[in-house]
A and B are shown apart, each in its own frame.
Chain A
Amino acid sequence: MSNDHDTPQITKTFHHEKFPWQGIFGYILSLALTAFSLWFGLEHAAQYGVILYVIMGLAIMQIFVQMFMFMHVTETDEGFPWQSLGLVSGLVFVAAIVIMSIWIMTFGAGVS
């Protein structure tokens, strides 16, 4: 096991730190994203449609902050973080349910 090239994925997958910098950084990021969302939305800095896309984009960024800064999503003892496959398939279902429901249920709603 002295060979560095033997098990590179496993040895690098766990994040190790003496002080919780990652958590503090994640907290500051999540506060900043929320504050920006509040400012951008409540100040009505743009049209409704633009605000919708910007604050949804900020919310999606918050998923990544939580997953990478707090949930340790990349960490595993298996060499590959298999939970990422579960998450991707879950997100496919989420997108399908939400987007198709909105599309079907509001289809032609602007006309009536």
Chain B
Amino acid sequence: MTEKIDRETYSAARVRALEALLIEKGIITGETVDKVIEFFERDMGPFNGAKIVAKAWNDPMFKQRLLDDTPSAIAEMNLPRGMAGAEGEHMKAVANTPEVHNLIVCTMCSCYPWPVLGLPPYWFKDPTFRARAIREPRKVLHEFGLDIPASTRVDVWDTSAQIRWFVLPERPTGTEGWTEEQLAAIVTPEAMQGAAKVVVSVV
């Protein structure tokens, strides 16, 4: 235990020493480091996708626009720059309904719609997952704990440099009258991949 604490204290001091020296020598600035961290924590992540989904749930006209022309609909929102531009320009949202369930897969992680979904989970890049998701999506979804009724069609979309798909999940019951903020809080990246449903967690 003592050894573990020592390692922690040492590592923290080591990183502070590294950063301080690099800054003193004018090699980097603290702001450059802050900006890199901010990029991952603020500009790009599943919280952006969750806001888009929440807005679509509360605003049927926006939802229609989102499905018809995803990049322009996203551009209407006050999201960090780049969301609807260079990175998001080929984005396409597909809606889950009682009739159809959508699942997205991707071969290249660089093609994952990061600005909206954040960093992909480890299984996403797995070639076995991808091959099986296309061949037997119901079985793969079942392994994720998601059973799709036989009456619902399953569509699998392969994200590529041309089109980056993301799923507009079904709004869960019991969320009537919720604000966009409340709704965004329950949308998970897995739901926007089609690997899970959005559920209202019991508090």
Q: Do A and B interact with each other, yes or no?
A: no
Residues of B within 8 A of A (CB): none
